[in-house]
A = this chain, B = another copy of it.
Amino acid sequence: MSIVVVGSVALDSVETPAGSVEAALGGSAVYFATAASFFQTVVRLVGVVGDDFDQVHVDFLRDRGVDLTGLERVAGGKTFHWKGHYLQDLNVAQTLATELNVFGDFQPKLPETYRDSDYLFLANIHPTLQLQVLRQMHAPRLKVCDTMNLWIETTRQELLQTIREIDVLILNDGEARQLTGESNLIRAAHAILALGPSRVVVKKGEHGAFTLTQDSFFAAPAYPLEQIVDPTGAGDTFAGGFMGYIVSAQDLSEQSFRKAILYGTVLASFNVQDFSLNRQRHLTYPEIEERFEKLAESMRI
- Indicate if A113 sits at the interface (CB-CB under 8 A): no
- Interface residues in A109-156 (C-beta closer than 8 Å to B): none
A226: which of B186, B207, B228, B299 is its contact (CB, 8 Å)?
B186
A183-B88, A186-B225, A207-B208 known; A301+B299 contact, CB < 8 A: yes
> How many monomers of this chain does the complex have?
2
CB closest chain-B residue, reference A209: B221
**Cβ of A54 under 8 Å from chain B:** no
Q: How large is the interface on A (under 10, 10 to 19, 20 to 34, 35 or more residues)?
A: 20 to 34
User: Which stretch from A42-50, A255-263, A283-291 is at the chain B interface?
Assistant: A255-263
- Does A82 lie at the interface of the complex (its beta carbon under 8 Å from any beta carbon of B)? no
Interface residues of A in 256-295 (CB under 8 A from B): 258-259, 262
Q: Tell me the complex Cα distance, A73–B119, Å.
A: 69
CB distance from A84 to the nearest CB of B (A): 19
Contact (A255, B184) CB under 8 Å given A208-B207, A208-B219, A219-B221: no
A97 at the interface (CB under 8 A from B): no
Give the Cβ gap from A170 to chain B, nearest Cβ, in Å. 18
State whether A210 touches B219 (Cβ < 8 A).
Answer: no
Please give me the residue from chain B that is nearest to A207 by CB atom.
Answer: B207
**Closest CB in chain B relative to A230 CB, distance in Å:** 14
> Does A214 interact with chain B (Cβ within 8 Å)?
no
The residue on B at minimum CB distance from A206 is B185
Contact B227 A187 (CB under 8 A): yes
- Note all chain B residues with C-beta closer than 8 A to A259: 301
A45-65 interface mask toward B, CB cutoff 8 Å, 1 = contact, 0 = none?
000000000000000000000
Offer 28 A-B interface pairs, CB within 8 angstroms, sorted by A.
A88-B183, A89-B183, A90-B183, A184-B206, A184-B225, A184-B226, A185-B206, A186-B224, A186-B226, A187-B226, A187-B227, A190-B226, A204-B207, A207-B207, A208-B219, A208-B221, A210-B221, A210-B224, A212-B224, A217-B224, A217-B298, A218-B298, A219-B224, A220-B299, A221-B221, A258-B301, A259-B301, A299-B299
Closest 5 CB pairs between A and B?
Answer: A219-B221, A207-B207, A186-B224, A187-B226, A217-B298
Residue positions of A touching B, CB distance < 8 A:
88-90, 183-187, 190, 204, 206-208, 210, 212, 217-221, 224-228, 255, 258-259, 262, 296, 298-301
Additional 20 contacts, C-beta under 8 A, given A184-B226, A220-B299, A299-B299: A90-B183, A184-B225, A186-B224, A187-B226, A204-B207, A208-B208, A208-B219, A208-B221, A212-B224, A217-B224, A218-B299, A219-B221, A219-B298, A221-B221, A255-B301, A258-B300, A258-B301, A259-B301, A262-B301, A299-B301
